[in-house]
Structure 1
Amino acid sequence: MAGLDKDTPLPTDITLHRQSRVLEIGFEDGRSFRLPFEFLRVYSPSAEVRGHGPGQETLQQGKRDVDITGLEPVGNYAIKPVFSDGHDSGLYSWDYLYELGLQHDELWQQYLDRLAAAGGSREAGAVPPAAPKSGCGHHH
């Protein structure tokens, strides 16, 4: 993952709203985005979620009540949220967060469409536990 695009504004303010489960991020160009934890979790840039190419994404389900329990700064170009479901391998660079903010409505709709197509659910209780994969080849 390359460094920052030189045109990306830097965040001036990052606030975790735990009650409403929203990450608020303000950028130096004056824009401010409110990104729900669930949205961030579903669009995690980690390989585990994105797979290793288009169409390889793992559809995330049952994340409606996911929390962010911690935020770790990574260098001066990204943050690494720690989610309550144990997911902590996503590095969210400033340009990625900015993009998520700009495209939030569109991306969220795409997610809902994919979820509907898969017969999935955003409710944690509705997701059957993942069947253990045989062979258990754990690769990171």
Structure 2
Amino acid sequence: MIPAPVSIGNSTERQRLRLSWQDGREQYIDHVLLRQQCPCSQCRAFRLRGMKPVVASSLCLIEINPQGYGLQLVFSDGHQRGIYPWAYLAGLGPESTA
């Protein structure tokens, strides 16, 4: 089990989520990627059929709700069904020290 990040940030200007992990890693994940990779059952079924959700490039993450083992994310298109576990988030975006 991956522990929660030490800090979580959100930039609506840059349209990305920032996760600072306990080992010092910084991770940035684009809002569009987060929405495309939503782990809710409806979105998973969509991807299993070989389809990708159509997501506007202007989409933003507007709310972050900690759920203990991950985050519930609310997007500007109204989607809010998925809870993103820490391990799932850790595997989504590139790491950076900047």
Question: Is contact 1:67-1:83 (8 Å) kept?
Answer: yes
What is the correspondence of 1:19-98 to structure 2 with a 5 Å cutoff? 19-51=13-45, 55-56=48-49, 58-74=51-67, 76-98=68-90
Spell out, residue by residue over 1:91-138, the C-alpha distance to the aligned partner (whole angstroms, 9 max, x if none). Answer: 0111110011359xxxxxxxxxxxxxxxxxxxxxxxxxxxxxxxxxxx
**Higher helix proportion (structure 1 or 2):** 1
Task: Tell me the equivalent position of 2:10.
Answer: 16
Indicate the SS of the match to 2:6.
Answer: strand
RMSD over aligned Cα atoms: 2.0
Q: 1:51 to 1:57 in 2, by over 3 A?
A: farther
Over 2 Å off, 4+ runs: 54-58
| Larger of the two Rg values belongs to structure | 1
- The whole-number CA distance in structure 1 between the counterparts of 2:41 and 2:20 is 27
Asked if the contact 1:44–1:50 (Cα under 8 Å) also holds between the matched residues in 2, the reply is: yes
Query: What is the CA–CA distance in structure 1 between the aligned matches of 2:44 and 2:9, rounded to whole Å?
Result: 25
Gaps of 5+ in 1: 104-140
- The structure 2 residue matched to 1:99, chosen from 74, 88, 91, is 91
CA distance in 2, matches of 1:11, 1:57: 32
- Give the TM-score taking structure 2 as reference length: 0.85
Residue type of the partner of 1:73? P
**How many Å separate the matches in 2 of 1:13 and 1:19?**
19
After TM superposition, give the deviation of residue 47 of structure 1 in Å: 1.1
TM-score (norm 1): 0.61
Offset of residue 36 of structure 1: 0.6
Structure of higher RCO (CA pairs closer than 8 Å, 6+ residues apart): 2
| Structure 2, unpaired ranges of 5+ | none
